[in-house]
Chain A
Amino acid sequence: MIPRHAQITIALLLVGACILGFYVLNEKHKAEEQQRLVADTRPVTPPVAGTPQRVVLVIAYDGEGVLRRREATVVLPEDRALRAREVLRALLNEYVKKPSPHPLAEGSDIKDVYLFQGNLAVIDTTAAFADAHRSGIYVESLTIASMVDTLAANVPGITRVKILVEGKERETLAGHADLMSFYDVATVRELVKEMQ
């Protein structure tokens, strides 16, 4: 027969051990997450040789379902294609960071932008950009309009835009927005006006 006071002591010790265990486990997870972030060498903002310049980002705000223009400072190179890529990366960076006005998944990025004949821009995006994009006509249209208008606002002369995923054509962004078409900048501007 174990005395009552001993039973209480053992129970308290067990509860204490459990609490301590949970605390240690939690700290371990935190440390692992920090290590993972440190080890994550993916470039958030790539090293670019250029000068800081003011650019216009056309940002989607899901809460109100609108697009708004906002100025930002981005390091831009001289080359038009690189400039286009950096502007779009700055835009997606707004969407990837938390909290975000228009959340995109981690890893959503611009791999490259190719310019053809001076007026056609082909944007190559990462798989995460499309694979993890939220599904819906309006939310997908916000993303497309935001990207196309941001590009056109900062790289003069672009009249048509095509979006690829990992270098390949994809039928839709997330089940709705057409990625097979070439986007006419003037028509997208009309959509942007409707969405402002």
Chain B
Amino acid sequence: MRTSHLLSKTRLAGLLLALAVLWLGAEVSHSAEEKQVSVYAPQTSYRLAVVERERREYVGLVALLEPLGTVSASTAGTEWTVRWNGVEARFTEGKSKGKIRGKKVDLSAPLVVENGRPLVPLHSLAMLLSRFLDTRVDVHEAARRVFIGNTGTRFTTELKQGNPPALVLSFSAPVSPAISTEGGRLKMVFARDPVVSAAENFSFQDKTISTLTYDESRGTAELTVSGSAPLLASFSNGGRTITVSVAPTQPAHAQTPPPVPSGGPPASQSPGKAVAPSGQGSEAPAELPRSRYLVVVDASHGGNERGAELGKGIAEKDVTLAFARRIRTELQNRGITTVMVRDGDTALALQQRAEMANAAHAALFLTIHAGTMGSGVRVYSSMLPPSAAASVAFLPWETAQARYVDSSHAMADGITLQLGRRRVPAESLEAPVRPLNNIAAAAVAIEVNVPASDPRAFHSPNFQLNVAGAVADAVLAARTRQEASR
């Protein structure tokens, strides 16, 4: 009896200790998390650090106004004068009363000065901004989101019935979310876009795509689509439309998809004009069992990022897009599922391109470039040494390619061989081309070159067709080898 009493006391103490540790851990992680508030204005959107002083949340007044116009701050003792686009405000350190445009204002807490910067309470942002800007300001305080003027981006949903169905999200302005997928869930995080919604849950009478939920917190908005199958997002209409559809299926005997590299940001898909796998329905005329073999074709550069100037006003970004489209057509003609990273004049970061290939579990990543050093084609693969490491769940971002580098070299050699057969001068090289090292699949960069004196040769249909045909032949041969070896 006594022993059991002692035991229960020990258990209770242990339980209390565990709870204390958990509470402490939660507190530490909570305080370690950097709090930010997102401000969306018609001309810009930005994020500000939120600091906690005496259990109240504060933001820097100058940092708040700076992206919206010309701001200056001066101090005389504890008196602060802040001028924004000719509007004058006066505050006193340690006091909550002040004046903006000569009219009295009450802050929800006293003005704090830290490192020579005046800090104002987060709770007073709506009042302060509306007085300074003389416009309507909405603050979603719990989510730490501030909307100046009529900046909210709204969206409509439409479930297109079919086999498989597709969910079309139409936004009132272009959006650029980070997208991640996990099983039948696809999450879109809008950090810079002022996406708002009156409803939080959307249900669809469909088993494949069943719900869409909206949530906003910590300065971002999130849309999560849930379904019964892996989902894929594609962008169109200049970033105003996102179509969520079922990802290409993978038969049971197909190769295990490569792990997504870690160490960088979470895997996400391109927010640009990426397109969904086209040619999903095309069947390859082969006797061998068909497995999932997805090729991601990346037309390098785009948007403001023109790439190399190739002469006579020709930008690398336009040449790469033309060749990428031609390669996609040739691949589809051979029954190979192909995704274009961009199919329009869209600017995408190199990291986003790699993320898209990794999130799609591509079998091959082809990035297309153009130059005027020599003539013909150079096919580049990574310079990383091969890694024989066993299959792991996570790969380092900067060396994700190491496990696939042998396949990449083989692919580069295969493309060079096929180009040679079509009498296109070609060589394969190992070179430091970004983002090859971040791709968790076979990856090569294809650089098409014409002499600087004749940049219009890039537009030659014969040249484009020869290059695209050779690339597609090499990819088809690689896929056939892969299936035969299985």
Residues of A within 8 A of B (CB): 62, 65, 134-139, 141, 144, 171-172, 175-181, 183-184, 187-188, 190-191, 194-195
Contact = CB atoms under 8 A, between A and B. Distances in A.
Per DSSP, chain B at the interface is mixed
Given A135-B316, A178-B433, 8 more contacts: A136-B371, A138-B431, A138-B447, A176-B434, A178-B434, A179-B434, A187-B383, A187-B430
B316 to A, nearest CB: 7
Contact of A138 (B301, B305, B373, B437): B373
A176 B369 contact: yes
A3 B372 CA distance: 62
Given A138-B447, A187-B383, A176 B433 contact: yes
B431 A175 contact: no
B398 interface: yes
Contacts of B435: 178
Contact of A171 (B308, B378, B430, B434): B434
A195 to B, nearest CB: 8
B307 A137 contact: no
B432 A141 contact: yes
A181 B405 CA distance: 15
Contacts of B380: 137
Contacts of A175: 301, 305, 307-308
Nearest to B316: A135
A188 B305 CA distance: 28
Interface of B: 301, 305, 307-309, 316, 350-351, 369, 371-374, 378, 380, 383-385, 398, 427, 429-437, 445, 447, 449
B197 to A, nearest CB: 34
B434 A62 contact: no
A60 to B, nearest CB: 11
Residue with the highest number of chain A CB atoms closer than 10 Å, among B307, B432, B435: B432
Q: Which 10 A-B pairs have the closest CB atoms?
A: A135-B308, A178-B434, A178-B432, A136-B371, A136-B308, A138-B373, A141-B431, A187-B383, A172-B434, A137-B447
Contacts of B309: 135
A156 B377 CA distance: 35
Contacts of A172: 350, 434
Given A65-B373, A135-B316, A137-B380, A187 B433 contact: no
B307 A194 contact: no
B437 A137 contact: no
A188 B432 CA distance: 9
Contacts of B447: 136-138
Given A137-B378, A177-B432, A187-B430, A171 B371 contact: no
A194 B429 CA distance: 7
A132 to B, nearest CB: 13
Given A62-B373, A175-B307, A137 B385 contact: no
A184 to B, nearest CB: 7
Contacts, number: 85
B350 A137 contact: no
Contacts of B373: 62, 65, 136, 138-139
Contacts of B307: 135, 175
A137 B445 contact: yes
A144 B445 CA distance: 17
A138 B351 CA distance: 21
A186 to B, nearest CB: 9
A91 B233 CA distance: 48
Nearest to A180: B398
B321 to A, nearest CB: 15
B470 to A, nearest CB: 19
Contacts of A139: 371, 373
Nearest to B264: A180
Contacts of B371: 136-139
A138 B301 CA distance: 16
B429 A191 contact: yes
Q: Indicate the member of A65, A172, A175, A176 with the most B CB atoms within 10 Å.
A: A176
A136 B380 CA distance: 13
Contacts of A188: 383
11 contacts: A136-B373, A138-B371, A141-B432, A171-B350, A172-B350, A177-B432, A178-B433, A181-B437, A183-B383, A184-B385, A194-B427
A65 B373 CA distance: 7
Contacts of B385: 184, 187
B431 A191 contact: yes
Contacts of A179: 434
Contacts of B430: 187, 190-191, 194
A137 B374 contact: no
Contacts of B374: 65, 138
A180 B437 CA distance: 10
Which of A134, A177, A181 has most chain B Cβ within 10 Å?
A181
Contacts of A176: 369, 433-434
A172 to B, nearest CB: 5
Question: Which one of A178, A190, A191 has the highest number of Cβ atoms from chain B below 10 Å of its Cβ?
Answer: A178
A68 B372 CA distance: 20
A14 B374 CA distance: 52
